[in-house]
Structure 1
Amino acid sequence: MARRPCQKRKIITEISVTGSVNNIGDLADSDTRSADNPEQQIALYLDLIRHWNTAYSLVSLNDVLHKLHDHVTDSLSLLPYLPKVNSHLDIGSGGGFPGIPIAIYRPLQKIVLNDRSRNKCRFLREVKAHLKLHNVIVVEQDIREPNPAGTRFKSITIRSVARPTQAWLLARSHLHEDGSVFLQTSVELSDVALENGRIDKVFQTERGLITKVGLVN
């Protein structure tokens, strides 16, 4: 298949505002309800990270001491651009960024948190229970495993899992034909680097770039 020439695109400058199953294919609709004060929920979430970090190796010590609020800001910078579809998939959720902050601020949207680490999934379930995030589903699974149920999502995030081009390859097998993967990067990507992918939009935020990528039709 011939590669398309790389084209310059306009970067949209916009300063941002501030359950458990065995397989991603085993998902069912679930009821959600409005969250409590979201700022308070975020504060409680960060307290849980500090409490459990030694046991579960969620983030680095430097992050615990200095960067947790930066991680929250990065996570919330996605909100203006994520579609309000029924279900959103966050791949490689780890300690919960960006999936948990998204779930707190989108209580009526089902947020699927995926990670292959048993300990990190235990932590995510603890957060779900402690914060009563009824819209969260935790899936302990290597995203590279086959997706026999064929479940596809119209909205996917994947942060700090791999380089952007590799992250796209991991996410695309779970992407609906009309869906988008949202990649957070410090530099602009090109269509040529994204196999069977097209860059629909690039958003500039205070924290870097958010690149919206869809499947080539």
Structure 2
Amino acid sequence: MTILSEQSVREFKHHLINGSNALGIKVSDHQSEQMLVHSKELMVWNKKINLTAIKKPLQIAEKHFIDSIAAASFLGNEQSVIDLGSGGGFPGIPIKIMNPSVNVVLIDSSRKKINFLKHIIRMLDLDTIDAIHSRVEDLHENNVYKNKFDAVISRAFTDLSKFVKLAAPFLNKKGAIYAMKGKNADQEITPEILEQYNLTTDHYRLPFEKSNRYVIKLSAKS
């Protein structure tokens, strides 16, 4: 595990808790400790496999954890969430930390990344969460996953049109797609998407970096 100084640990937790508070989200000491463990392991494993281009602890706190927590706050009462292209576990693992009762599935096509995610799940002793090594398309006809989820979420996995096509087979009848996006998010919304889905866009600003972030929610028109 990466050895962070006591000061670095305090700064990470302070950044995480205060940044989340600025967005109206309360992170407990226990939750911040879980995210600290995830962050430390992310930095260790990132030296061996490409998990993230973000390497500084305070940037990890904001750009990975606060960003994931903020996006998750727009979820409704969904009890099952699938995270496509989870990578280093974002947003899926922070969603699980903040909502322990939610069933979460993390999907990634990289076996090394899945090994990392399974390691984090074990370290944090999380239950009702699984990490699956697969291409997203290969699970579309798998009855374990097909039409089973209340929410499909992803962060910068692909463009919106492709994400919608990849996500739709996982939704149950009342399910919704959540796409986490940066600037120019509205430029990805096509007439075809608007024809098929009810769409809402929520906005938040990362508290320290001040960059704008968007969550596009899509639910099928009845």
Q: TM-score range by the shorter chain?
A: 0.7 to 0.9
Amino acid at match of 1:82: L
Amino acid at match of 1:68: I
Q: Which SS does the other structure have where 2:47 is aligned?
A: helix
Residue 173 of structure 1 pairs with residue 172 of structure 2? no
Distance 2:195 2:167 in 1: 12
Amino acid at match of 1:190: I
Quote the residue 1:147 is aligned against: 141
Larger deviation: 194-203 or 108-117? 194-203
Amino acid at match of 1:210: V
Contact 1:191–1:197 (CA<8 Å) still a contact in 2? no
Q: TM-score, normalised by structure 1?
A: 0.78
Query: How far apart are residue 80 of structure 1 and its match?
Result: 2.1
Distance 1:53 1:190 in 2: 33
When the two structures are aligned, how many residues end up with a matched partner? 185
Residue 121 of structure 1 pairs with residue 117 of structure 2? no
Distance 1:165 1:194 in 2: 7
Query: How far apart are residue 103 of structure 1 and its match?
Result: 0.8
Q: Which SS does the other structure have where 2:153 is aligned?
A: strand
Contact 2:198–2:221 (CA<8 Å) still a contact in 1? no
Structure with higher RCO (Cα < 8 A, 6+ apart): 1
- Deviation track 1:51-75 (CA, whole Å, cap 9, x = no partner) reads 1112221112xx1136312121110
Larger deviation: 197-206 or 68-77? 197-206
* Root mean square deviation of aligned Cα: 2.1
Query: How far apart are residue 193 of structure 1 and its match?
Result: 4.4
Query: How far apart are residue 136 of structure 1 and its match?
Result: 1.4
- Identical counterparts, % of pairs: 22
Amino acid at match of 1:17: G
Instruction: Choose which of 151, 157, 174 in structure 1 pairs with 2:153.
Output: 157
Amino acid at match of 2:85: G
Quote the residue 1:213 is aligned against: 218
Distance 2:29 2:108 in 1: 26
**Structure 1 residues not aligned, in runs of 5+:** 1-14, 19-34
- Deviation track 1:61-96 (CA, whole Å, cap 9, x = no partner) reads xx1136312121110112221123321111110110
Moved over 3 A (4+): none
Instruction: Choose which of 69, 81, 89 in structure 2 pairs with 1:88.
Output: 81
Quote the residue 1:54 is aligned against: 47
Residue 64 of structure 1 pairs with residue 58 of structure 2? no
**Structure 2 residues not aligned, in runs of 5+:** 1-21, 206-211
Query: How far apart are residue 179 of structure 1 and its match?
Result: 0.8
- Deviation track 1:150-194 (CA, whole Å, cap 9, x = no partner) reads 342111101121112211111111112211111122232535142
Q: TM-score, normalised by structure 2?
A: 0.76
From the superposition, tell whether residues 190 and 199 of structure 1 become closer, same or farther in structure 2 (CA, over 3 Å).
farther
Distance 2:114 2:59 in 1: 22
Instruction: Choose which of 101, 105, 108 in structure 1 pairs with 2:98.
Output: 105
Contact 1:196–1:215 (CA<8 Å) still a contact in 2? no
Q: Which SS does the other structure have where 2:178 is aligned?
A: strand
Amino acid at match of 2:60: L
Amino acid at match of 1:172: A
Residue 41 of structure 1 pairs with residue 48 of structure 2? no
Return the structure number with greater helix share. 2
Larger deviation: 157-166 or 96-105? 157-166
